[in-house]
Amino acid sequence: MKIAASFLDIKEPKCEELTKLDKLDIDYIHLDVMDGIFVENKTYTYEEFYDIVKFTTKPKDIHLMVSDVKKYIDDFSKLKPDYITFHFEAVSEVSSVINYIKNLGIKVGISIKPSTDVSEIIDYLDYIDLVLVMSVEPGRGGQAFMEDSLNKVEQLYSLREKNNYNYIIEIDGGINDETIKKCEKVDMCVVGSFITKGDYEERIRKLRD
Ligand code: DX5
Ligand code: ZN
């Protein structure tokens, strides 16, 4: 199980906190990007993110919670992330966005909100590298894990087996040392407040146990 740490809930200064996280046993830094339109909250500009991520050497997993997807891809691809994930609900031309990211040499993820079914993205599963199942409403950290998301994980797992698809399954929202135990079919868990609201090293050790 891979762990992607989200620093959404860290208060300033993020640079020191990122330096601290960089030394610990996490696989990715998960960057939550919000535009104040697709979701109510707004995170940093690309320039601000650019300054913050200088303090990490971990591979980057970008989660775009934005409406103007292509504009954000243009900016955030400059951070050389491993993955860029966009929201299925935010775009009309899904295949075109998939190809847009692929052509930049970056792995592509599609994220679905709690109210979106796996059946809605079925046509794209053969073309993507990651499916991000939201286990909370996108927009802020610290919410409770929605158990229903596990049905989607189950469906994605069996669809992958049956069709030899290559995507990894990621889950995001409300993951802690208890809820992670229910995620054995998940390949990558995003963890925000559970890590950042405690002693980082100890919290990560608890997740790994
Ligand atoms: C929520 C974000 C998450 C968030 C997770 O919209 O996508 O990545 O930071 O935070 P926790 O782990 O606190 O639910
Ligand atoms: Zn996220």
Cα dist from 106 to 18, 41, 59, 99, 102, whole Å: 23, 26, 12, 10, 5
Name the token pair of 177: 């040392």
Q: How far is the CA of 19 from the centre of ligand 1 (A)?
A: 20
The angle formed by the CA atoms of residues 64, 174 and 88, to the nearest 5 degrees, is 30
- Neighbouring residues of 200: CB distance < 8 A, sequence distance ≥ 6: 20, 21, 24
What is the spatial distance between Cα 5 and Cα 41, in angstroms, rounded to a whole number?
19
Confidence tier at 82 by pLDDT (50, 70, 90): very high
Please give the number of the atom of ligand 1 that sits closest to the Cα of 191. Answer: 12
What tokens were used for 83? 């993955």
The pLDDT tens digits for 96-147 are: 999 999 999 999 999 999 999 999 999 999 999 999 999 999 999 999 999 9
Atom 12 in ligand 1: residue holding the nearest Cα: 192
pLDDT at residue number 13: 74
pLDDT at 14: 85
The residue-averaged pLDDT of 37-51 equals 94
C-beta of 66 in contact with ligand 1 (< 6 A): no
Domain tally, the chain? 1
Pocket flag, ligand 1, residue 87 (CB < 6 Å): no
Secondary structure element (H or E) that encloses residue 96, with its range: helix 94-102
CB of 3 within 6 A of ligand 1: the answer is: no
Least confident range from 49-53, 87-91, 95-99, 203-207: namely: 49-53
User: For 176-186, what is the mean pLDDT?
Assistant: 98
Cα-to-centroid distance, 134 and ligand 1 (Å): 9
For 136, the domain range is 2-208
What pLDDT does 26 receive? 98
Nearest to 134 by CA among 112, 155, 151, 119: 112
pTM assigned to the model: 0.97
Q: What is the mean pLDDT of the chain?
A: 97
Residue closest via CA to ligand 1's atom 4 equals 141
pLDDT of residue 85 exceeding 90, the answer is yes
pLDDT band at 12 (very low <50, low <70, confident <90, very high): confident
Give the number of C-alpha atoms closer than 13 A to the C-alpha of residue 100, restricted to the C-beta side.
18
The enclosing domain of 52 has a CATH number of: 3.20.20.70
Residue 81 CB less than 6 A away from ligand 1: no
How far is residue 184 from each of residues 121, 194, 205, measured CA to CA in Å? 22, 18, 17
Question: How would you classify the pairing of strands 130-134 and 2-6?
Answer: unpaired
Pocket mutation for ligand 1, best pick of 3, 8, 9, 188 (most atoms within 8 Å of C-beta):
8
* Over residues 151-167, mean pLDDT: 98
Give the HSE-up count for residue 3: Cα atoms under 13 Å, Cβ half-sphere: 24
Residues marked active site are found at: 32, 172
Q: Does 138 contact ligand 1 (Cβ within 6 A)?
A: yes
How much distance in Å is there from the Cα of 123 to the middle of ligand 2? 23
Cis status of the peptide bond prior to 138, with omega within 30 of 0: no
Look at residue 139 in the predicted model and tell me its pLDDT.
97
Q: What is the DSSP string of 24-69?
A: SS-SEEEEEEEBSSSSS-B---HHHHHHHHTT--S-EEEEEE-SSH
What is the pLDDT, as a whole number, of residue 11?
Answer: 81
Pairing of strands 60-65, 2-6: unpaired
CB 42 within 8 A of CB 36: yes
What φ, ψ does residue 134 adopt, rounded to 5°? -80, 125
